[in-house]
Each structure stands twice: as structure tokens, then as C-alpha cells.
Amino acid sequence: MAVAGGAAPAVDRWFLLFYVFLLAVVAGVFLISKVPPLLHTPLMSGSNAISGITLVGAILATAMASWNLNGLLAFLGVTLATMNVVGGYAVTDRMLQMFKKKK
């Protein structure tokens, strides 16, 4: 319920965010379940690209954070996002190696 002045109470915002999150989960599960198994490797590669965007966001958060708890969490975000990107590409490469002919 909006208040006169345009600002919504914090509770309404959380319900809206939770509703959007649930819609994203349902849409994601529905879309991913429809992907044929042959396309799982390219889909994983696309997910790795999205993880790269997460890494850029974590780097920007680190640049704007002061070195207190926010800076520590931002640094942790950069570290974990980097591990996610590198590991994702390593797994994708190993999956693609399975399809190459042996010499």
C-alpha cells in the first residue's frame, strides 16, 4: 500500500522483492527444464558469462567500499566470483574435451 508522498513502506517493498524472486525461480526452473541435454554445455558456458558480470559487479562494489566490513565483504565477493568464473570455464572445457576425438 503506497503512502501519500510516493514512498512505499519497507514491508511492501520486501513482499514485492520476494514476489519477483519467486517469479524468477519459477520461470528459471521452467525454462531450464525445457532445455535438451545436448544444449547443456552451451548453457553452462552462458552461465559462466553471467558469472563474469557478477565479478564485474563485485569489483565495482570493492572500488566503492571503505575498508571496514563492507570492504571485507566486497573483497570476499570478488574472490568467490573469480573462483566461480574460473571453475565454470574449467568444467566447461573438460565437458567439451569429452566430445573431441582421441588421436
How is the chain split into domains, by residue range? 1-34, 36-103
Percentage of the chain exceeding pLDDT 90: 3
| Location of C-alpha cell 519497507 | 10
* Residues in the chain, overall count: 103
| Among candidate residues 37, 85, 77, the one with its CA nearest the CA of residue 57 | 77
Instruction: Count the alpha carbons within 13 Å of 43 in the hemisphere toward its beta carbon.
Output: 11
pLDDT of residue 7: 58
pLDDT value for 68: 81
Helix (H) or strand (E) holding 100: none
CA pair distance 1, 4, nearest whole angstrom: 10
User: Closest Cα to residue 44, out of 87, 100, 98?
Assistant: 87
- The torsion of the CA quartet 85, 90, 95, 97, rounded to 10 degrees, works out to 140
pTM for this entry: 0.51
